[in-house]
């Protein structure tokens, strides 16, 4: 019995054609909904275009994490309470 390995399937003309079509679909989608405009600096969902509210601080995750770690320092982790603001 002859089988084609997964690696060899990637090199087939039909796979290359399908990949090319998929790439073009992505280009068209992003062209119509360009999430990379220079005017908007807010955090935005690429898939649906929703802009995050002013309370969202995901872009400051490192800073927030470091503050939490400083606050936790010297405390028993079993007794520490995490909270959302």
**pLDDT tens per residue across span 54-75:** 888 877 889 988 998 998 898 8
Say how far apart CA 27 and CA 54 lie, in whole Å.
30
Unique residue bearing structure tokens 């997964």: 6
Say how far apart CA 7 and CA 46 lie, in whole Å.
31
Q: What is the DSSP letter of 38?
A: S
Task: Output the pLDDT for position 82.
Answer: 77
Please tell me the number of Cα atoms within 13 Å of 18 on its side-chain side. Answer: 7
Say how far apart CA 71 and CA 75 lie, in whole Å.
8
Q: Which two tokens mark 74?
A: 């010297």
- pLDDT less than 50: residues of the chain: none
């Amino acid at each position: 019995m002859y089988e084609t390995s997964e690696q060899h399937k990637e090199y087939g003309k039909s796979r290359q054609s399908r990949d090319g079509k998929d790439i073009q679909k992505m280009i068209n989608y992003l062209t119509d909904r360009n999430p990379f405009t220079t005017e908007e600096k807010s955090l935005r969902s690429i898939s649906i275009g929703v802009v995050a509210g002013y309370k969202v601080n995901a872009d400051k995750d490192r800073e927030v994490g470091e503050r939490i770690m400083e606050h936790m320092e010297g405390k028993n982790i079993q007794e520490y309470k995490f909270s959302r603001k």
